[in-house]
């Protein structure tokens, strides 16, 4: 049975439009509350959010729904998604909920649930909540609500305990005007670094706008201009981190996995279909097994748990260290990577050069019906033709975005072939979308 509202990362959409209207979010809160109440006599739910202007409205609607089912709600305020996950587990809450659309623009928002273990709610639980949405739920109790003022302190203490001293390092931080805007500078200063904070003045609408892990160009330039040792860029809800070396080069998720895997002496690492072939080749040379999953941290997490592994992640900087936390955490990723860098005796620039990347090009195409288009025979035929052109020297991956109305086209291979092959596939997608799949592909 397919989920109607829940995607790979919770319920997403434009705030104020279906499904993220206050009316629907109220019903979702009631359904989730009824689910938690059915499994726990006295459920307690922690509720956090990022810096989007729509957060207050959706938070009020969701909390009202939860309260109507007798759930106790603890407001955490603005807090990174992984902070909510950590506190849910640490405080023994029934569940955690985050209002955020991660790296998306401010107009979007989302609702993401965490289990008592601090992990994303299982598919079966999301299906049960969706089933409850079909019923007219009556008030089943009156919950109480309070503000939990110790959230930032407890989470910051946890992160500090995981880091190593950063004395003598000059670090630029891009907090994406998002959920890490207060905590990230404090964390790195606590660890002894000299910190320059960028994009740390959220106004409700500037989250991820020209900044953060999806737009690190300003950070890359500032690292060089200010003579920093490195930079760190977070996304809007703080579950991702990308680094920048002293030369201003992006140190993305594949680099982060490579550095940590070698220093930690991992025997197996999990990546995704988007992980660069260069990483796979270097892991093979080092005797490290490398596994690929579908794109999405929930799939990486499932593979890690199934195989008893600890390290995995995506190029986007969404990295999982399951021996430290149950979910991806941008600040944790950054400080653990810097600790591994110090342990190795090599800086990020040296690690950057130790991992040669295969040329890779990713283009996003906005479409009307991504699920139907991705299965279209003409597109499948075009993908097979593209793979034949690469003659085994590269990869093609065409997939729907898990959170946006996009088809993502990725081609990896020889420099002279990557762009023309990618452009050809993009053209097929655009023509099929324009004609509703009826015209020539």
Cβ neighbours of residue 382 under 8 Å, at least 6 residues apart? Answer: 424, 425, 428, 441
> How would you list the strands of the sheet with 319-321, edge to edge?
289-293, 268-272, 311-313, 319-321
Tell me: is residue 239 an annotated ligand-binding position: yes
Three-class SS of the chain: CCCCCCEECEEEEECCCCCCCHHHHHHHHHHHHHHHHHHCCCCEEEEEECCCCCHHHHHHHHHHHHHCECCEEEEEEECCHHHHHHHHHHCCCCEEEEECCCCCCCCEEEEEEECCCCCECCHHHHHHHHHHHCCCCCCCECCCEEECCCHHHHHHHHHHHHCCCCCCCEEEEECCCCCCCCHHHHHHHHCCCEEEEECCCCCCCCCCCCCHHHCCHHHHHHHHHCCCCEEEEECCCCCCEEEECCCCCEECHHHHHHHHHHHHCCCEEEEECCCCHHHHHHHHHHCCEEEEECCCHHHHHHHHHHHCCCEEECCCCCEEECCCCCCCCHHHHHHHHHHHHHHHCCCHHHHHHHCCCCCEEEEEEECCCHHHHHCCHHHHHHHHHHHHHHCCCCEEEEEECCCCCEEEEEEECCHHHHHHHHHHHHHHHHHHHHCCCCCCC
Q: Give yes or no: 161 in active site.
A: no
Task: Report the DSSP beta bridge partners of residue 361.
Answer: 411
Distances from the Cα of 112 to the Cα of 21, 247, 258, 350, 373, angstroms: 16, 37, 29, 38, 27
Q: What are phi and psi of 100, to 5 degrees?
A: -165, 150
Determine how many CB atoms are found less than 10 A away from the CB of residue 161.
7
Would you say 237 is a known binding-site residue? yes
From the CB of residue 401, how many other CB atoms can be counted at a distance below 10 Å?
17
Catalytic residue among 54, 68, 100, 102: 102
Known binding-site residues for Mg(2+) equal: 102, 235, 237, 239
Known binding-site residues equal: 102, 235, 237, 239
Q: Catalytic positions, please?
A: 102
């Amino acid at each position: 049975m397919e989920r109607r509202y829940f995607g790979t990362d919770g319920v997403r959409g434009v705030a104020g439009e279906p499904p993220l209207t206050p009316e629907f979010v109220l019903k979702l809160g009631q359904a989730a509350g009824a689910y938690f109440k059915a499994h726990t006599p006295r459920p307690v739910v922690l509720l956090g959010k990022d810096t989007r202007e729509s957060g207050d409205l959706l938070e009020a609607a969701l909390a009202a729904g939860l309260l109507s089912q007798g759930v106790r709600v603890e407001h955490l305020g603005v807090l990174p998604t992984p902070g909510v996950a950590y506190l849910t587990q640490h405080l023994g809450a029934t569940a955690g909920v985050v209002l955020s659309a991660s790296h998306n623009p401010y107009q979007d928002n989302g609702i993401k649930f965490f289990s008592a273990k601090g992990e994303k709610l299982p598919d079966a639980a999301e299906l049960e909540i969706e089933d409850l949405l079909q019923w007219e739920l009556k008030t089943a109790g009156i919950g109480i609500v309070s503000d939990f003022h110790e959230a930032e302190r407890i989470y910051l203490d946890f992160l500090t305990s995981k880091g190593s001293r950063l004395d003598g390092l000059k670090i630029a931080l891009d907090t994406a005007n998002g959920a890490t805007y207060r905590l990230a500078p404090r964390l790195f200063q606590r660890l002894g670094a000299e910190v320059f904070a960028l994009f740390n003045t959220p106004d409700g609408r500037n989250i991820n706008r020209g900044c953060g892990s999806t737009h690190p160009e300003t950070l890359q330039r500032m690292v060089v201009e200010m003579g920093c040792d490195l930079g760190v860029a977070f996304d809007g809800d703080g579950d991702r981190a990308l680094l920048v070396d002293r030369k201003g080069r992006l140190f993305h998720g594949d680099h982060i996995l490579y550095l940590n895997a070698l220093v930690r002496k991992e025997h197996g690492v999990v990546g995704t279909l988007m992980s660069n072939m260069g990483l796979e080749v270097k892991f093979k040379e080092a005797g490290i097994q490398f596994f690929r999953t579908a794109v999405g941290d929930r799939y990486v997490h499932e593979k890690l748990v199934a195989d008893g592994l600890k390290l995995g992640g995506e190029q986007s900087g969404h990295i999982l260290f399951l021996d430290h936390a149950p979910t991806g955490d941008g600040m944790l990723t950054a400080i653990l990577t810097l600790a591994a860098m110090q342990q190795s005796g090599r800086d990020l620039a040296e690690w950057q050069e130790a991992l040669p990347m295969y040329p890779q090009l990713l283009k996003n195409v906005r479409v009307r019906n991504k699920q139907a288009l991705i299965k279209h025979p003409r597109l499948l035929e075009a993908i097979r033709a593209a793979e034949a052109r690469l003659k085994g020297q590269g990869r093609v991956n065409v997939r729907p975005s898990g959170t946006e109305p996009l088809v993502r086209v990725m081609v990896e291979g020889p420099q002279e072939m990557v762009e023309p092959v990618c452009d050809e596939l993009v053209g097929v997608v655009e023509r099929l979308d324009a004609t509703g799949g009826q015209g020539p592909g």
